[in-house]
Amino acid sequence: MLVPATASIGIRSASRTLRTPTWAAPRAPPPDSTSPTRGRSVAASAETARRMNARSRTVVNRTTARIPSDNVFMLELAALAVLSTSATALEEVVVTARRREERLVDVATSVSRRTPGELGRLDLTHHAESLNRVPGVFLQRGSGQESLLAIRSPVLTGAGACGAFLFLEDGFPLRPTGFCNVNELFETNTTQAAAIEVMRGPGSVVHGANAVHGVINVLTPSAADLAGMRLNAVFGADDFKSLGFALGDGRHAVHGLVRHDGGFRDDSEVTELKFNLAHDRELAGGELRWRAAATRLEQDTAGFIRGFDSYRDPVLRRSNPNPEAFRDAESLRMSTTWNRSDCANCDDEARLILRRSSMTFLQHFLLGKPLEKNAQTSAALGLARGRSLTREGWSWRAGVDVEWADTSLLEIQDGPTLEGSAFARSIRPAGRHYDYTVEVASIGGNASIEYRSDAWLWRTAVRADAIAYSYDNLMRDGNTAEDGIPCPGGCLYSRPADRNDSFSRLTPRVEVIRHVSKSQHVYAVLAEGFRPPEITELYRLQRNQSAVDLGAERMRSAEFGWRFAFGESPSPSLRGTLAVFRARKSDVILRDANGFNVIGGRTRHEGIEYELGWQALPRLRIDLGGTLARHRYDFSRAIEGGETIAAGLDIDTAPPQIHRLALSVQPHERIDLELDTRRVSAYYADAANLRQHPAQTALGARGRWRLTIDLALTLEVDNLTDRLHADRADFAQGDWRYFPARRRSAYLGLDWRSR
């Protein structure tokens, strides 16, 4: 079962147990300072963690468009805090929010960590299964492995949507700066990951560009964690089948899976292959981690179904208006990380990654249905050094990151446009629309200074980034057809002439943490995040726009948080986190009514997030998590598609409330069961706030039966009540569009392990 970060005991990191350098520690351990294994054996720690395992899911009341001022939950929480007569220390949790392992109570930001727990996996069919259990996250599934993401934000779409989030694997970005893809999480093996960490709000100074609304870090298992042999097979609805394996000797390991989903809609099957290598060893007074990952996706894509409430039609929801659509993608990564371990007063690190990815897909959502091919080859190097200062309790850390990438994009249409009006067809010619390469070079430096005492932690940090693009157009400049023939009034696709662009940004961060007691910790943080324009926003222009002058989007954020624990362990206890945030984003890049890429948008974001875990009985656990937030436009302007944005209106596809509830019970020492529910409130489907998609509640159940010490049977049932839901709904081009959700589906699995 998934373990909320506020409820984990003795959790090890993906690579090794927590090591707190002497230079970073106070003179004496703070009241809740506990080694992950101090005072108990590793086996005992694992058993305690097993008994506390649980996933975060959701329940809630019907939403309104703004945050309630008299929330009953807040009153109950305050009452619990006042009435509690005894407290227990917050359990030790290790996170990597600043690219190195540290206790959660020493991190001044909202971080949720999800681990496989008793069910043995983070997700079965899609990464949405794990991410949608995190407060502040709303991941809408598309067709197959596609998705659209929100982290303390509305669901973002368009060329730059992915640029607002930073996707990592073991702390390394999956893609180079400027070349993200909104679906790139399918290039990671989340199913067999050791953990997934979600950092909400602007990233720390080690992250740099793109960590605007949040960071998702997929942590791979250590070689020691994969010692022995494991096999896993799952079969389920719609011809779903998956086979996973892992093999290791403690220093070397290999794991992977092959997965096929026949899809519940016509012509929507997906086949995935994921393969990972790991090697861990001691080298030159430090710990060396070497990782390699390869993925391949072959997907037949199903498009939107159209018409109001069409997702409720049992026949229409299984149809596919775009049977010709597909997406093929490959990725390859190789990385190594070295951390010094022979110096108690040092924090030295060296990191290197080599990446390659390519993708080909049919843009079935565009008139003419052009084909896109994109690819990138890139490398990144990072160095960091930390030391204590002469004054006790003070320390500093500094680092530098450099990155190089060679990227390319080709868009080509193999025949005339047959859809739309005569004018729409005339401006979308056959042949190449875009064909260019862009070389990317970036450098970023960061520095921080902190002070630690028994009760306080102060940290001030700053990062400077410089990013350069060198664009080379491989076809005719301008907006003619490929052969130079002009379209009436100009073709839709416009190609700027060769050019160079550069962007730079300074991002500060100030954090303070107060260790009130061994069971209560409060923090405050002021931070800024930014993203440079994506390559496609600069060089994939339309209509008569021949060049752009775009700057970096930036967001300033303030957050206050409280981590707490009440009750005497191991008797019934309550643990949780509460965070309040407010953010302002400016220089938002958008496409105006003329089809031009421009800057000048502004948005506002504020809300409350909570995460609670209550061990009601020795074999019964209740977990709650949720978000109450509002995301609004802070400017007025006519935009593409005939819509008009007005300041003060809610941004479309931004549910003001999302809540989760999970009940985990162990009726027998060999049986673990979980029942969870998630409710997403109604949200606006258009910028004018004239149309709403209704609230939805989904119920799921999971179970694991350990037949022997090495063999277990698993069962997962999604959409237990067989409701007709939509994974995504929006109103565009004068009509409703939906991605229907799968109806009740069951999956039966068998896990075997040789020790």
- If one counts every other C-beta atom within 10 angstroms of the C-beta of residue 667, the result is 11
pLDDT value for 593: 86
Helix H or strand E encompassing 47: helix 42-52
pLDDT value for 554: 96
Please count the CA atoms within 13 angstroms of the CA of 147 that sit on its side-chain side.
Answer: 20
* One-letter identity of residue 672: D
Following CA atoms 533, 534, 539, 543 in sequence, which dihedral angle do they give, to the nearest 10 degrees?
A: -80
- At which residue do the structure tokens 């003329």 appear? 594
Whether residue 265 has pLDDT greater than 50: yes
What average pLDDT score do residues 318-338 get?
97
- What one-character DSSP code corresponds to residue 81? H
51-71: pLDDT as tens digits = 334 333 333 333 333 444 444
**CB neighbour list of residue 139: distance below 8 Å, 6 or more residues apart:** 127, 128, 131, 132, 147, 148, 149, 150
Categorize the per-residue pLDDT at 489 as very low, low, confident or very high, splitting at 50, 70 and 90. Answer: confident
Please count the CA atoms within 13 angstroms of the CA of 528 that sit on its side-chain side.
Answer: 16
φ and ψ of 56, to 5 deg: -90, 125
Percent of the chain with pLDDT over 70: 86
- Contact between 326 and 170 under an 8 Å Cβ cutoff? The reply is no
544-566: pLDDT as tens digits = 999 999 999 999 999 999 999 98
Q: Are strands 696-706 and 711-718 parallel, antiparallel or unpaired?
A: antiparallel
Angstrom CA distances, 546 to 287, 375, 452, 501, stand at 51, 24, 54, 15
Whether residue 44 has pLDDT greater than 50: no
Of the candidate ranges 4-13, 113-122, 292-301, 472-481, the one whose mean pLDDT is the lowest: 4-13
What average pLDDT score do residues 121-148 get?
92
What average pLDDT score do residues 371-397 get?
94
* One-letter identity of residue 224: A
Record the tokens describing residue 182, joined without a space.
């909104």
pLDDT value for 14: 37
- At which residue do the structure tokens 């160095």 appear? 383
Q: Which residues are bridge partners to 134 per DSSP?
A: none
Of the candidate ranges 5-19, 134-148, 480-494, the one whose mean pLDDT is the lowest: 5-19
* Helices and strands, number each (H, E), in the chain: 5, 40
What average pLDDT score do residues 365-380 get?
97
Which one, of 287, 289, 323, lies nearest residue 305 by Cα? 323
Categorize the per-residue pLDDT at 124 as very low, low, confident or very high, splitting at 50, 70 and 90. Answer: confident
Q: Is the peptide bond before 570 cis (omega within 30 degrees of 0)?
A: yes
φ and ψ of 72, to 5 deg: -60, -35
pLDDT value for 570: 54
pLDDT value for 159: 86
- Between CA 249 and CA 233 the distance in angstroms is 22
Categorize the per-residue pLDDT at 753 as very low, low, confident or very high, splitting at 50, 70 and 90. Answer: very high
691-705: pLDDT as tens digits = 999 999 999 999 999
Query: Does residue 75 or residue 301 have the better pLDDT?
Result: 301
Give all domains of the chain, ordered by start, each with its CATH number: 5-62+71-660 (2.40.170.20)
- Between CA 175 and CA 378 the distance in angstroms is 8
Which one, of 39, 1, 670, lies nearest residue 10 by Cα? 39
Record the tokens describing residue 735, joined without a space.
């009509």
**What separation, in Å, do the N-terminal and C-terminal C-alpha atoms of the chain show?**
21
pLDDT value for 177: 97
Query: Does residue 303 or residue 160 have the better pLDDT?
Result: 303
What average pLDDT score do residues 163-182 get?
96
Q: How many residues does the chain have?
A: 755
Whether residue 266 has pLDDT greater than 70: yes
Record the tokens describing residue 263, joined without a space.
């899809």
Categorize the per-residue pLDDT at 243 as very low, low, confident or very high, splitting at 50, 70 and 90. Answer: very high
- Contact between 535 and 548 under an 8 Å Cβ cutoff? The reply is no
707-739: pLDDT as tens digits = 999 999 999 999 999 999 999 999 988 899 999
Q: Are strands 574-591 and 597-617 parallel, antiparallel or unpaired?
A: antiparallel
- Between CA 578 and CA 162 the distance in angstroms is 27
* b/e burial code for range 207-239 (CB count within 10 A of at least 16 → b): bbbbbbbbbbbbbbbbbbbbbeebebebebbee
Angstrom CA distances, 585 to 171, 297, 529, 634, 644, stand at 25, 35, 9, 9, 19
pLDDT value for 96: 79
pLDDT value for 119: 56
- If one counts every other C-beta atom within 10 angstroms of the C-beta of residue 755, the result is 8
Record the tokens describing residue 68, joined without a space.
């309630």
Whether residue 38 has pLDDT greater than 80: no
pLDDT value for 118: 54
- Between CA 371 and CA 711 the distance in angstroms is 46
Give the three-class secondary structure for 320: coil
- Contact between 111 and 5 under an 8 Å Cβ cutoff? The reply is yes
What average pLDDT score do residues 383-399 get?
91
Record the tokens describing residue 486, joined without a space.
């002009």
Give the three-class secondary structure for 218: strand
pLDDT value for 117: 67
200-237: pLDDT as tens digits = 999 999 999 999 999 999 999 999 999 999 999 999 99
Helix H or strand E encompassing 147: strand 147-151
Angstrom CA distances, 2 to 57, 126, 129, 614, 752, stand at 10, 15, 11, 14, 20
Whether residue 351 has pLDDT greater than 80: yes
Categorize the per-residue pLDDT at 260 as very low, low, confident or very high, splitting at 50, 70 and 90. Answer: very high
Query: Does residue 116 or residue 478 have the better pLDDT?
Result: 478
- Between CA 546 and CA 593 the distance in angstroms is 16
Whether residue 667 has pLDDT greater than 70: yes
Record the tokens describing residue 429, joined without a space.
């010619």
Of the candidate ranges 22-31, 620-629, 631-640, the one whose mean pLDDT is the lowest: 22-31
